[in-house]
Amino acid sequence: MNTNTSPKKISAVNDFVVKFANVNGSGSASANEMFAKSILRMGVPVSPRNIFPSNIQGLPTWYEVRVTEKGYLGRRGGVDMMVAMNPQTWDKDIAEIAPGGYLLYDSTKALPASKFRDDINVIGVPLTEICNDTYSDPRERQLFKNIIYVGVLSALLGMDAEAIAELIGEQYKSKEKLLKHNVHALQLGRDYAMAKLTCPLPIRVEKRDNIGDMILVEGNAAAALGMVYGGATVCAWYPITPSSSVAEAFINYCQKLRLDTTNKSKYAIVQAEDEIASIGIVTGAGWNGARAFTATSGPGVSLMTEFIGLAYFAEIPVTIINVQRGGPSTGMPTRTQQADLISSAYAGHGDTKHVLLFPEDPNECFEFGAACLDLADRLQTPVFLMTDLDIGMNQRLCKPFKWDDAREYDRGKVMTYELLESGKEFGRYLDVDGDGVPFRTYPGTHPTKGGYFTRGTTKDAYARYSEAGPDYLYNVQRLLKKFNTAKKLVPQPIERKATQKTRLGALYFGSTSPAMNEAYDALEEQGTHVDLMRLRAFPFPDSVQAFVNAHDTVFVVEQNRDAQMRSMLVNELGINPAKLVPVLNYDGTPITARFIIKEVAERAAGLNVVPLRKGKEAV
Amino acid sequence: MTYLTKPTLHHPTLVKNKAGYTRRDYEGKVSTLCAGCGHDSISAAFIQACWELDIQPHRVAKLSGIGCSSKTPDYFLGNSHGFNTVHGRMPSVLTGANLANRELIYLGVSGDGDSASIGIGQFAHVMRRGVNMTYIVENNGVYGLTKGQFSATADQGSKSKKGVANTDSPVDMVALALQLGATYVGRSFSGDKRQLVPLIKGALAHQGAAFLDVVSPCVAFNNHAGSTKSYDYVREHNEAVSRIDFITTRSEITVDYPEGEVVEVAQHDGSTLRLRKLHPEYDPTNRISAMNYIQEHHAKGEVVTGLLYVDPQPEDLHTHLNTAEMPFNRMGKKELCPGSAMLERINASLR
Ligand SMILES: Cc1ncc(C[n+]2csc(CCOP(=O)(O)OP(=O)(O)O)c2C)c(N)n1
Ligand code: SF4
Ligand SMILES: [Mg+2]
DSSP letter at B141 equals: S
What pLDDT score does A27 carry?
82
| Residue A506 phi, psi dihedral angles, 5° rounding | -140, 135
Put simply, whether B20 touches A (Cβ < 8 Å) is: no
The H-or-E segment that residue A537 falls in is strand A537-538
Q: Rounded to whole angstroms, how far apart are CA atoms B3 and B78?
A: 14
Query: Taking the C-alpha atoms of A34, A37, A42 and A46 in order, what is their torsion angle to the nearest 10 degrees?
Result: 130
Q: B210 has which bridge partners?
A: B134, B184
DSSP-assigned letters across all residues of B146-178 = TTSEE-TTSPTT-B-TTSPBP-SPPP-HHHHHH
Ligand nearest to the CA of B38: 2
Is residue A139 within 8 A of residue A181, CB to CB? The reply is: no
Sign of CA dihedral A273, A277, A282, A286: negative
Is residue B124 within 8 A of residue B135, CB to CB? The reply is: no
Q: Rounded to whole angstroms, how far apart are CA atoms A523 and A75?
A: 17
Split at pLDDT 50, 70, 90, the class of A13 is very high
Cβ-in-10-Å burial (0-12, 13-18, 19+) of A353 comes to: buried
Judged by average pLDDT, the poorest of A149-158, A347-356, A581-590, B156-165 is B156-165
Is residue B70 within 8 A of residue B114, CB to CB? The reply is: yes
User: Mean pLDDT, chain B, as a whole number?
Assistant: 89
Q: Report the pLDDT averaged over residues B73-85.
A: 96
Q: Rounded to whole angstroms, how far apart are CA atoms A87 and A93?
A: 9
Q: Rounded to whole angstroms, how far apart are CA atoms B107 and B137?
A: 11
Q: Convert B64-81 to b/e letters by CB count within 10 Å (16 or more is b).
A: bbbbbbbbbbbbbbbbbb
Q: Which amino acid is present at A183? A: V
Cα–Cα distance list, A511 to A259, A362, B288 (Å): 34, 10, 56
Q: Enumerate residues 6+ apart whose C-beta is below 8 A from B315.
A: B130, B183, B208
Q: Rounded to whole angstroms, how far apart are CA atoms A592 and A511?
A: 10
Cβ-in-10-Å burial (0-12, 13-18, 19+) of B326 comes to: middle
Sign of CA dihedral A286, A288, A290, A292: negative
Counting ligand 2 atoms within 8 A of each CB, the residue from B31, B72, B137, B219 with the most, and so the one to mutate, is B219
DSSP letter at A485 equals: H
**CA angle, corner A491, sides to A489 and A497, nearest 5?**
130
DSSP letter at A197 equals: S
User: Measured in angstroms, how far is the CA atom of residue A355 from the centroid of ligand 2?
Assistant: 39
Q: A160 or A469: whose pLDDT is higher?
A: A469
3-state secondary structure of A441: coil
Q: Report the pLDDT averaged over residues A374-382.
A: 98
Q: Which of B305, B102, B111 minimizes the C-alpha distance to B207? A: B102
What pLDDT score does A55 carry?
55
How many of the other CB atoms lie within 10 Å of CB of A521?
13
**Per-residue pLDDT tens for A477-490?**
999 999 999 999 99
How far is C-alpha A250 from the geometric centre of its chain's CA atoms? 16
B84 with A455: Cβ contact below 8 A = yes
Q: Report the pLDDT averaged over residues A171-178.
A: 85
Q: A347 or B229: whose pLDDT is higher?
A: A347
Phi-psi region of A430 (alpha: psi -120 to 50; beta: other; left: phi over 0): beta
**DSSP strand E in A303-398: where?**
318-324, 355-357, 382-388, 395-398
Touching B: A residues 499-558, CB under 8 Å? none
Q: Which amino acid is present at A468? A: A
DSSP-assigned letters across all residues of A206-247 = ------TT-EEEEHHHHHHHHHHHTT--EEEE---TTTHHHH
User: Mean pLDDT, chain A, as a whole number?
Assistant: 94
A285 with B100: Cβ contact below 8 A = yes
Looking at the complex, report in whole angstroms how far the Cα of residue B296 sits from the nearest Cα belonging to chain A. 32
Q: B159 or A367: whose pLDDT is higher?
A: A367
Touching A: B residues 82-111, CB under 8 Å? 82-86, 89, 91-101, 103-104
Instruction: Judge if the beta carbon of residue B202 lies within 6 A of ligand 2.
Output: no
Inform me whether the pLDDT recorded for B117 exceeds 90.
yes
Put simply, whether B56 touches A (Cβ < 8 Å) is: yes
What pLDDT score does A334 carry?
80
What pLDDT score does B274 carry?
66
Q: Convert B264-295 to b/e letters by CB count within 10 Å (16 or more is b).
A: ebebbeebbbbbbbeeeebbbeebeebbebbe
What pLDDT score does A173 carry?
85
Taking each helix axis as running N to C, give the angle between helix A161-171 and helix A138-156, from 0 to 180 degrees, rounded to the nearest 10: 150
3-state secondary structure of B337: coil
Mutate to test the interface with B, among A171, A448, A453, A475 (most CBs of B within 10 A): A453
Inform me whether the pLDDT recorded for A198 exceeds 60.
yes
What pLDDT score does A103 carry?
98
Put simply, whether B2 touches A (Cβ < 8 Å) is: yes
B93 with A405: Cβ contact below 8 A = no
**DSSP strand E in B117-260: where?**
133-139, 142-143, 149-150, 184-189, 209-215, 238-240, 242-247
Instruction: Judge if the beta carbon of residue B33 lies within 6 A of ligand 2.
Output: yes
Q: Report the pLDDT averaged over residues A346-367.
A: 97
Q: A26 or A66: whose pLDDT is higher?
A: A66
Inform me whether the pLDDT recorded for B186 exceeds 90.
yes
Split at pLDDT 50, 70, 90, the class of B252 is very low
- In angstroms, how far is the first alpha carbon of chain A from the final one? 32
Q: Rounded to whole angstroms, how far apart are CA atoms B150 and A527?
A: 72
User: Measured in angstroms, how far is the CA atom of residue B33 from the centroid of ligand 3?
Assistant: 13
Phi-psi region of B105 (alpha: psi -120 to 50; beta: other; left: phi over 0): beta
Q: Which amino acid is present at B250? A: R
Q: Report the pLDDT averaged over residues B252-271.
A: 55
Q: Which amino acid is present at A555? A: F
Put simply, whether A173 touches B (Cβ < 8 Å) is: no
> Percentage of chain A surpassing pLDDT 70?
96
Q: A558 or A139: whose pLDDT is higher?
A: A558
Q: Rounded to whole angstroms, how far apart are CA atoms B51 and A16?
A: 76
What pLDDT score does A54 carry?
64
Q: Rounded to whole angstroms, how far apart are CA atoms A32 and B188?
A: 64
Inform me whether the pLDDT recorded for B333 exceeds 80.
yes
Is residue B92 within 8 A of residue A281, CB to CB? The reply is: yes
**Which strands sit side by side in the sheet containing A531-535, from one edge to the other?**
A494-496, A531-535, A504-509, A553-558, A580-584
Highest-scoring range by mean pLDDT, A224-233, B193-202, B229-238: A224-233
Q: Rounded to whole angstroms, how far apart are CA atoms A316 and A455?
A: 11
Q: Rounded to whole angstroms, how far apart are CA atoms B65 and B68?
A: 10
How many of the other CB atoms lie within 10 Å of CB of B336?
20
Cβ-in-10-Å burial (0-12, 13-18, 19+) of B237 comes to: middle
Taking each helix axis as running N to C, give the angle between helix A138-156 and helix A28-41, from 0 to 180 degrees, rounded to the nearest 10: 30
**Per-residue pLDDT tens for A257-272?**
999 999 999 999 999 9
Looking at the complex, report in whole angstroms how far the Cα of residue B267 sits from the nearest Cα belonging to chain A. 25
Looking at the complex, report in whole angstroms how far the Cα of residue B15 sits from the nearest Cα belonging to chain A. 18
Is residue B202 within 8 A of residue B310, CB to CB? The reply is: yes
**Per-residue pLDDT tens for A390-432?**
999 999 999 999 999 999 999 999 999 999 999 999 999 999 9
Q: Are strands B209-215 and B133-139 parallel, antiparallel or unpaired?
A: parallel
Inform me whether the pLDDT recorded for A209 exceeds 90.
yes
In chain B, where the domains are located:
23-349
3-state secondary structure of A387: strand
Q: Rounded to whole angstroms, how far apart are CA atoms A488 and A492?
A: 8
What is the assigned CATH class of domain B23-349?
alpha beta
3-state secondary structure of A474: helix
